[in-house]
Structure 1
């Protein structure tokens, strides 16, 4: 399995970040190649199914995904359900507060929530996939274009797409245009 993790800090309440990321149809706003996300079944929780339509070069492909588990407000697990062995998760890790714990205990709910956004939480998109499991029957390719050629060209695009989605989502969450510093971990010779 190839693995990619893109993470960064976001100045927002972890519960707000989680709710934002649970809205899968919104992802089409952040991707260069994802044209549409349709909800097929469910309301965002486990077993919610989506159709994700991607377009690149002369190829359009609809992937089917399913939310496999949630741990509010820290984790959303998902998998691709046809044509390739792939899945991953969104992970939200609350930031460490440097405030005095005794003061936090007496702070009102609104003060506590305001203080939490002063300390960034971490958001991470983790993706695992096996390119060897991709079904060549999944795409209607132009004449003289091989499935192997498409894989060789498309797989390196995954990293840029993941970075773009995380960066743009953070900007919307913060309602800002700041430069977003990303940490990227790759365990793959292909991406």
Structure 2
């Protein structure tokens, strides 16, 4: 399994950040490449999300299900569309509870992406090389939009991204 983790600081208490993340629908307004986010459920365990993204000649709908949550601390999910992936939104209070470190951790099996419609156009390694800068830019755009909605005004957002290949 590979893992990617991105984190930033949001200047709002964990409860506000948690409520926003739990109702993740509507974030397509932040990105040129996210076409739709559809939520089926209340954001708790069993809620399904379908996130449609497009770039270049590619379009893909990721399907995810919330598997567990701990109020104001974490939301866990797994993919349900054939790509083997799990993830968590993790919230840690900072500065006497008035700010939150928000982390998104995703663990995935890159081999589970082979053989699909996308990897027939390009080899998986070439696809990852082309998509990495787009994903990084779009992540910053989406997170900046989320932070502006939560905090009430737009500001530069620092995002740290870490990739851990071959996580056992």
TM exceeding 0.5: yes
Q: Quick check: 1:2 aligned with 2:2? A: yes
Following the alignment from structure 1 to structure 2, what is the Cα–Cα distance between the partners of residues 163 and 178? 12
Q: List, as ranges, runs of 4+ consecutive aligned residues in structure 1 with deviation greater than 4 Å.
A: 138-141
Following the alignment from structure 2 to structure 1, what is the Cα–Cα distance between the partners of residues 80 and 132? 18
8 Å CA contact 1:76–1:91 kept in 2: the answer is: yes
| Structure with greater strand share of residues | 2
8 Å CA contact 1:54–1:60 kept in 2: the answer is: yes
Following the alignment from structure 2 to structure 1, what is the Cα–Cα distance between the partners of residues 133 and 80? 22
Q: Where does the alignment leave 5 or more consecutive residues of structure 2 unmatched?
A: none
Secondary structure of 1:25's match? coil
Q: Quick check: 1:122 aligned with 2:101? A: yes
Following the alignment from structure 1 to structure 2, what is the Cα–Cα distance between the partners of residues 69 and 162? 24
Secondary structure of 1:50's match? strand
Which runs of structure 2 are paired with 1:30-69 in the superposition (5 Å)? 30-39=30-39, 41-69=40-68
Partner residue, 1:146: 122
1:168 to 1:91, Cα distance in 2 relative to 1, 3 A: same
Following the alignment from structure 1 to structure 2, what is the Cα–Cα distance between the partners of residues 155 and 79? 21
Secondary structure of 2:116's match? helix
Q: Where does the alignment leave 5 or more consecutive residues of structure 1 unmatched?
A: 98-115
1:165 to 1:126, Cα distance in 2 relative to 1, 3 A: farther
1:146 to 1:179, Cα distance in 2 relative to 1, 3 A: closer
Secondary structure of 1:172's match? helix
Give 1 or 2 for the bigger CA radius of gyration: 1
Following the alignment from structure 1 to structure 2, what is the Cα–Cα distance between the partners of residues 46 and 73? 14
1:77 to 1:58, Cα distance in 2 relative to 1, 3 A: same
- TM-score of the aligned structures, taking structure 1 as reference length: 0.75
Following the alignment from structure 2 to structure 1, what is the Cα–Cα distance between the partners of residues 161 and 132? 16
Secondary structure of 1:16's match? helix
1:52 to 1:30, Cα distance in 2 relative to 1, 3 A: same
Displacement, 1:47? 0.8
Which runs of structure 2 are paired with 1:6-25 in the superposition (5 Å)? 6-25=6-25
- TM-score of the aligned structures, taking structure 2 as reference length: 0.84
Q: RMSD value over aligned CA atoms?
A: 2.3
